[in-house]
Structure 1
Amino acid sequence: MTVLFVTGTGTEIGKTVVTAAIAATSLTVGFSVAYLKPAQTGIGPDEPGDADEVSRLVGFELTGVELARYPDPLAPATAARRAGLPTVGPAEIAEAAAKLAAVHDIVLVEGAGGLLVRFDEEGSTLADAAKMLGSPVLVVTPAGLGALNTAALTADALRARALSCAGFVIGSWPDNPDMPARSNLADLPAYTRNPLLGAVPAGASALTPDAFRQAAPGWLAPRIGGLWDADAFTAIWTSVI
């Protein structure tokens, strides 16, 4: 898959770290990778954004592109309106991704919040941009209580739009997962009708770039370039429910 869209079931659940893990895994085996952030919200003009964080974690040369930035920590359409700045529509996102795909092996497009967060006043979403390119969408989910419902809703929204779901990745797997988190490992594929493709450990963003690159393949399934075994991981943790 040349262009992969990365969304989440909500905000602050590990999308950027998961995206960085995919980038690191791909770069390590020699692929050229570009990272595209259509709209960065909640930070000022001189503050580091998600593109900077991905580059920091990867520690390799990475093409990072940000199309728009808004200071308020809101949905892009709302943040743009409050700031009096232009919005970013799906055609602009798709065009930028296609241009990057022409000169890179892999393009990772990270959305803002969940799949149906609005990017412009017409109500366009990341799903509309993915539809224009016919690209798959990877969904990042939290581990614990409540994850099954939001994951199932996101999967249903993708199916309703005839979009391909690459699968789900747990964005922050705790050191000592509680019973709901352990149970969700077994239930997520059934609820979403899509595979579980990885689990990134909590605190991964604190690793050095070298340690992050070395560990990243072990967090991701082969379908997205890694070595992680969903069945083995699930068996380990569900055996203690």
Structure 2
Amino acid sequence: MTAPVLIITGTDTEVGKTITTAAIAAALKSQGQRVLVIKLVQTGVEDGEEGDAQTVAQLAEVDVEECVRLPEPLAPDVAAARAEVELPAVADHAETVAEHASSQSYDIVLVEGSGGLLVHLDQARGTLPDLAMPLEARGIRVGAIVVARAGLGTLNHTALTLEALRIRGVDLVGVVIGSAPASPGLAEETNVEQLSNLADGQLLGAVPEGAGDLDPGTFREHAPGWITL
């Protein structure tokens, strides 16, 4: 049986996407799921340094794969051009994801994007939603989780991201608040209900601010309580 693919994207960069990916992976693993997390393009990390995939592996204790690494903290196509590196086409990434989803080794494959939804992942301006079509053509189910900020400005960014998913025909699994403050202000408090409304009730939860600094065992213990899947 082919494993479904869950695309994890953010409304912007630095919204807590990687830690949320780790929390989702840990929550799924706690349900007995065999989980693989794929990072298509890692930017801003030198060889030998810890990237997003390694962070997820440590926190969630699941299998991970990093496809491309680029040293400068820029959009993938820009970072690749400056490094004189040819990025794989999104269609090639789809082949990689499909191979893992069809391998019978995993019950679900999580694909973490780079930055926001429409960041260019290759030199042909391919984006994360472009990954969905070739996968679905193979009969692989694809859905998306959007990681959003907690504070002011998140409603507009989230609405734009959800609209882009709808236009491109990618099913929304839900929205997660990526870094919820322990002492929320007025905007953070009222945004919980508003984000749920934007997602048609599919607000899956919130990852607490600073969760990535927890001991991995503590992280895995608490992650299922942060996100409902």
Settle same-fold status: TM greater than 0.5: yes
Amino acid aligned to 1:216: A
Distance 1:18 1:100 in 2: 22
SS of aligned partner of 2:25 = helix
Between 132-141 and 74-83, report the one with greater CA deviation.
Answer: 132-141
| TM superposition shift of 1:100 | 1.4
Which residue, out of 180, 196, 216, partners 2:223? 216
Match of 2:35 in 1: 33
Match of 2:183 in 1: 176
Which residue, out of 119, 122, 135, partners 2:121? 119
Q: Residue 136 in 1 paired to residue 148 in 2? A: no
Between 112-121 and 125-134, report the one with greater CA deviation.
Answer: 125-134
Equivalent pairs: percent with the same residue?
46
Match of 2:109 in 1: 107
TM-score normalised by structure 1 residue count: 0.88
Contact 1:130 1:137 in 2 (8 A): no
Q: Give CA-to-partner distance per residue, 1:158-184, whole Å, 9 cap, x none.
A: 011111111100000000001001111
Distance 1:46 1:152 in 2: 37
| TM superposition shift of 1:20 | 0.5
Match of 1:42 in 2: 44
Amino acid aligned to 2:209: A
Q: CA RMSD in A?
A: 1.2
SS of aligned partner of 2:23 = helix
Match of 2:161 in 1: 154
Distance 2:199 2:106 in 1: 31
Distance 1:12 1:183 in 2: 21
Distance 1:57 1:15 in 2: 13
Structure with the higher fraction of residues in strand conformation: 2
Contact 2:43 2:71 in 1 (8 A): yes
Gaps of 5+ in 1: 225-241
Distance 2:94 2:173 in 1: 18
Amino acid aligned to 2:66: E
Higher RCO (CA < 8 A, seq sep 6+): 2
Match of 1:81 in 2: 81
Match of 1:196 in 2: 203
